[in-house]
Amino acid sequence: MPVSSSAHLAIVPRLLGWRYDALAPDERKAFEVALHAGTAPALALTALAGGRRPRPAMLALTVIPPAVAGLVLERPIERRLGGPRTVAAAQIAAGAALWLADRRGGDRAEPDAGDHVAAGVAQALALVPGVSRAGAVLTAARLRGLGRPAAADLALQAALPVTAGAAALKAFRVTRGDALDGVPGMAAGAGASLTAAMAARSVFRRVAGEGSYWPLAAYRIAFGALALAASWLRR
């Protein structure tokens, strides 16, 4: 769902009082890689079910910007913008942008090269925790006048190679360290992630491809506001 998995990974454990942040950074990163790897098969099935098959050149336009930005900026962004308040603020801002873009959006049915470039830039911006890759692409697509079904297809097609590539890169980095002791926990997390993602496939199609985006935006704004309030109360 386009509500930012990174925001939920950062905020939900804090809201529920889990000791997630007590884990070593490499252990947390390994677990998050497992979660993202679990969603990849469901994402692939959902994208392939959309009926549109993008040309490789068009797909490259959506991949190059986030790939370059990720290699250069991922770790500095995580260090400087990965705190709970920053993530909550990004969730609120991205939710508001999604709502405003949906109100402005048009009804074009076929994405062009400019739409794919916009999707790539949006995914690069989604390196900021709390923004959401799919949500950023939906926002960009609607701002450029794509209809909701075309915007949903573009979001899925753009997210698949970037998600798979990011998971592979992070997995490579993790395996170079000593974070593989918790394999049973990572396997359980990947299985739960896959199950949830498969269950959400049809919901994504209905919400992002047919109906208004205001429920998604409202959820993201409310979730971010709750996280901000909780962080201030705990000071």
DSSP 135-179: HHHHHHHHHTTB-HHHHHHHHHHHHHHHHHHHHHHHHHHHHTTT-
Closest C-alpha among 108, 11, 120 to residue 57: 120
Instruction: Evaluate if residue 11 carries a pLDDT over 70.
Output: yes
The per-residue pLDDT for range 117-168, each reduced to its tens digit, is 999 999 999 889 899 989 999 999 999 999 999 998 898 888 878 777 776 7
Decide which of 176 and 166 is more confident.
166
Q: Residue 127 is inside which H or E element, if any?
A: none
pLDDT at 177: 56
**Is residue 216 very low, low, confident or very high in pLDDT (cuts 50, 70, 90)?**
very high
CB-count burial class (<10 Å; 0-12, 13-18, 19+) for 95 = buried
Residue 235: per-residue pLDDT: 63
Q: What's the pLDDT score for residue 84?
A: 84
> Dihedral angle at the C-alpha atoms of 158, 4, 29, 200, nearest 10 degrees?
-80
> In the predicted model, what is the mean pLDDT of residues 45-60?
74
Per-residue pLDDT band for 67 (boundaries 50, 70, 90) equals confident
Cβ burial of 18 (10 Å; 0-12, 13-18, 19+) is exposed
- The predicted model gives 89-107 an average pLDDT of 94
Residue 174: count of CB within 10 angstroms of its CB: 20
Q: Are 33 and 157 in contact (CB under 8 A)?
A: no
Domain that holds residue 208: 5-233
Least confident window among 105-109, 110-114, 142-146, 182-186: 182-186
Least confident of 64-73, 79-88, 162-171, 172-181: 172-181
Which helix (DSSP H) or strand (DSSP E) does residue 19 occupy? none
Please give the pLDDT value at position 222. 96
Residue range 178-198: average pLDDT?
Answer: 82
81 confidence band (pLDDT: 50, 70, 90): confident
Please say whether the beta carbons of 147 and 91 come within 8 A. no
Q: Which residue has the higher pLDDT, 189 or 202?
A: 189
Residue 20, classed as helix, strand or coil, is: helix
Is the pLDDT at 99 greater than 60? The verdict is yes
* Dist CA 92 CA 90 (whole Å): 5
What is the domain count for the chain? 1
Question: DSSP string of 100-119?
Answer: HHHHH---B-S--HHHHHHH
